[in-house]
Structure formats: structure tokens, C-alpha cells
Structure 1
Amino acid sequence: MAGSADFDLYRPSEEHDMLRDAVRSLAEAKIAPHAAAVDEEARFPREALDALTANDLHAVHVPEEYGGAGADALATVIVIEEVARVCASSSLIPAVNKLGSLPVILSGSEELKKKYMAPLAKGEGMFSYLS
């Protein structure tokens, strides 16, 4: 049987808890007030993008060498989860930035990483995908 130490990798740290509190406060103050309008008008949640970008929470996973925070997967999920608590549409901003950029991070050339990761980290660009 697995011991509790086996799950320490997935246990939130004090930094993760502080991140959760900060994102929750931001989401409730800056994103929640616009959530109904975003859904009713079927529009892009610009207010959420502005709030997330202003607080460097739009793409926390970008490695430090490209100007990002270099946050781990759990931190990224915490950001997505806390934004989704108030607006599911807005939670797609950090989620899709991670999903769209991960192939570049994992397999892209250094040239490609520099070209796309730095603007993403600065909030000057976003990733997307089509189905």
C-alpha cells in the first residue's frame, strides 16, 4: 500500500496556497463581474485577459528563460481552477495558452521558442487551437 509520502509531489505547497488566494481574489474582483455578460454576449472575455495579464497569470507555465514565471503544472492548474470558479470562458485563457504552447516548449527549436514564448510571457501574444 502506498504511503502518504508517495503523494507529496501533488500536495500543494505554501506558495501554491498563496497563489490560490491571490488568484481567487483577483478572479472575484476583476473577472466575476463580467462573467454573465461574456456568456450572454458570446464574446471574448477581454476584462479577464487584461486582469490576468496585468498580474502575470495568463501563462504562468512559460519557462523563466523566455521571460515567464516557470510555474509548475500544479500552479498552472490552480490558476485555471480559480478563474473557472467565477467564469468558465475566462479560464480558457490560461488553459489554452498552456495547451497551445506546450508542443513548442517540448519539441520546438530554440528559435521557435524565443519567437513565441517571450511574447506569450509578456502578454503580447496568445496561443490558440482549432478543432
Structure 2
Amino acid sequence: MKEVEAPSLDNHEKRIYKLEQSNEDIQKNIKELKDSVLINQAQSAERSKIMMSQNESLMKQNERLSEQMGSVFNTVTTTREKEAERSSEMKKLSTDTRMKLLAMVFGGGSAGYLVIQTILNLLGK
């Protein structure tokens, strides 16, 4: 077992010195901890800025994708709306082509051709 020294002036000075050293060590540790906390706060703030920037970039990408999807949707709906119109135009062109073919077969080189052609031109305009 360790023997406790009897209090003396020399022993008292050693104790005061050890306490002062211990106090300095504690103050040093506290300062290091404060510095560490400040560094962590700065790093957290920097990470937060980076994450905000990435978030803004993702939001812009989402906006672009949304606009593209809207454009695709509009194209599809417009295509479907105009499909009936194009179908009737194709039927009309097909009928006109058949009539012209018949006119050429039956009336080619004669006055009948001119009459049929005139009628078709009047109907077409």
C-alpha cells in the first residue's frame, strides 16, 4: 500500500504544482474540444451547402423532365386528335385518285375527259 506522506511545506508545493498541471491539462483539453466542435460545425455547414446545391440541381432536372413529359403528352394527345382529320383527308385523296384514274381510263383523249376533269377541279376547289 502507498503510504501517505505527512503534510509538509515541500509536499504542499508538489501538490500545488500537480494541481496546476492538472488544471492546465484540463484547460488544454477543453480548448481542443472547442476547436474540434468549431471544425465540425464548419464541415457540417459546408456539407449542408453542397447538399443544398445538389438538391437545387435535382429540382432543375425534375423540372426539365416534367416539361419533357408534358411535351410528350401534348404530342400524343395532339396526334390522336388529328388522327381522324388525317384519316378523312386520306380517304378524300384516295377517292380523288380513283376518280382521276377512271376519268383518264374512260375519257382520256376525248371531250369527256375534259368535262370530268372540269367537274373534279370544281369539286376539289
Greater helix share, structure number: 2
After TM superposition, the score normalised by the length of structure 1 is: 0.27
Larger Rg: 2
After TM superposition, the score normalised by the length of structure 2 is: 0.28
